Structure 1
Amino acid sequence: MENNSVNGRRSAFRGETELPAVPSEENKKPTVIDTIQQLGQTSVPAGGESNIFCMTIIGQIEGHIVLPPQNKTTKYEHIIPQLVAAEQNPRIEGLLIILNTVGGDVEAGLAIAEMIASLTKPTVTVVIGGGHSIGVPIAVASSYSFIAESATMTIHPIRMSGLVIGVPQTFEYMEKMQERVVRFVTSHSRITEQQFKDLMFKTGELNRDIGTAVAGIDAVKYGLMNQVGGIGQALARLNGMIGERKSVSSGGITQ
């Protein structure tokens, strides 16, 4: 009798209590912590409430070769899908791209720069700390660019690491790759090709190297960047561009 009573209570307990369903791996939504760890973002374009999507490009730009785990990197396979998602999302009306990068893989950097330049929505870049090497094309790829007064941009020729075959074809390839960088920068900024190459091949500026470290005010003076400023000025400019775009699309007239 006692066993039956216990079993009955157990059956009743099992019948009355329902364990919460455990979501499968496929149905789990990424948490804020997961997004920060994977992409360095507090939100993704598909779920952001703001009409401005903020993207950060920091550390070293990683290309086809995975860098050591102790390196702070920006992975192009993370950046490119985010740019596509931001372009497709109707709630995102503008993009703010913040750079503090030492440069990195040339083709990956150019791919990111081309993606930013091809967006139809207003884009503003802000260089804080540094926008060096292949970070320069990314910095100038936006609709409007800012640089902090204390920030710098290092302009130097393309270099190769690892095994280099000493044949004329290798140097021709490097020269063509360098021309791609020069052409992109000069077509998306106010600096002339000759001025950019003068900065690139200048000797004596960098220790045991050729190139130039350009400070914030000088970057504006050379025509690389549009204006000296920070996040506040960049957001104000971006909001103004968004307002102008809305006015044009709605056919309104503003003074």
Structure 2
Amino acid sequence: MSKITKSTEPDKTSENDAGTTTQSILDFGSAMTRTAHGSVYCLTIIGQIEGHMSASTNTKTTKYEHVLPLLAKLEESEEVDGVLFLLNTVGGDVEAGLAIAELIAGMEKPTVSIVLGGSHSIGVPLAVAARRSFAVPSAAMTIHPVRMSGTVIAAPQTYSYFQRLQERIVAFVAGHSHISPEEFRSLMLRKDDMAADVGSVIYGEEAVEKGIIDAVGGLSDGLQCLYRQIEEKKGNS
């Protein structure tokens, strides 16, 4: 009679999955979670949005050269049913931030964004790029005109470039939220909120009242919304 023995070796598959998830969190601030509703990929957008110039080594950054191909991969992946974006960013490079925002907005996969802490400056287009956006009550969003550091050529063409770049941001935010271009532009140019600059600082509930963010809510609200989107997409397929 043969004896059945139980293996005492650890589950190597589980260990490999756990190791991969841990490494993804360390490298990209991301993680994949498989639930009864489907597979959810969580991606954080934090710190400074790094552009063509590298930020200092002491600065936490989100690098567009990492995020752009990752988003393209998530859109094409059959293993991913929805993407949850967690935002806590001070803003940064305008063109890099807009590039990420445009790619998020162009995804057919279910997407939800949650503003935690802050989503300032170019973080505003990133917050509204998902299909549905949430902000916790304590979240802050700074809205101000386009600024540039370094040498600026004092010529009419420079002013025109700033104006056109600013209009791209206004058009994107208005096109992916419920605020009008005129009202968003007025928030950009307000003079009462900021001591050393023009612009506005608004918080979670105010952002919802003005139509920039869809709803006040946290993690559970965002996940439930994402699950509903996933179920709807499965039902239509």
Interval containing the TM-score (normalised by the shorter chain): 0.7 to 0.9
1:171 alignment partner in structure 2:
159
2:191 alignment partner in structure 1:
203
The equivalences for 1:145-224 within 5 A come to 145-224=133-212
Q: Kindly indicate whether the alpha-carbon contact (under 8 Å) linking 2:30 and 2:41 is maintained by their aligned counterparts in 1.
A: no
1:94-122 deviation digits (Å, cap 9, x = unpaired)? 11001000000000000000000000111
1:41 alignment partner in structure 2:
30
Gaps of 5+ in 1: 1-29, 250-255
Give the TM-score, by structure 2 length. 0.88
1:79-98 deviation digits (Å, cap 9, x = unpaired)? 11111111111121111001
Go from structure 1 to structure 2 and tell me whether the alpha carbon gap of 1:61 and 1:217 turns closer, same or farther (over 3 Å shift).
same
Aligned equivalents of 2:170, 2:85: Cα separation in 1: 21
Aligned equivalents of 1:227, 1:245: Cα separation in 2: 21
Q: Does 1:81 align with 2:64?
A: no
* Counterpart residue identity of residue 103, structure 2: M
Aligned equivalents of 1:232, 1:221: Cα separation in 2: 21
Go from structure 1 to structure 2 and tell me whether the alpha carbon gap of 1:217 and 1:248 turns closer, same or farther (over 3 Å shift).
same
Aligned equivalents of 2:110, 2:30: Cα separation in 1: 20
Aligned residues with identical type, % of pairs: 49
Aligned equivalents of 2:41, 2:159: Cα separation in 1: 40
* Counterpart residue identity of residue 223, structure 1: G
* Counterpart residue identity of residue 115, structure 2: V
Q: Give, in angstroms, the shift of residue 248 of structure 1.
A: 1.5
2:233 alignment partner in structure 1:
245
Q: Give, in angstroms, the shift of residue 37 of structure 1.
A: 3.4
1:114-133 deviation digits (Å, cap 9, x = unpaired)? 00000011100000000100
Go from structure 1 to structure 2 and tell me whether the alpha carbon gap of 1:240 and 1:31 turns closer, same or farther (over 3 Å shift).
closer
Gaps of 5+ in 2: 1-18
Aligned equivalents of 2:216, 2:20: Cα separation in 1: 36
Higher percent of residues as strand:
2
Aligned equivalents of 2:45, 2:130: Cα separation in 1: 13
SS in 2 for 1:210: coil
Give the TM-score, by structure 1 length. 0.82
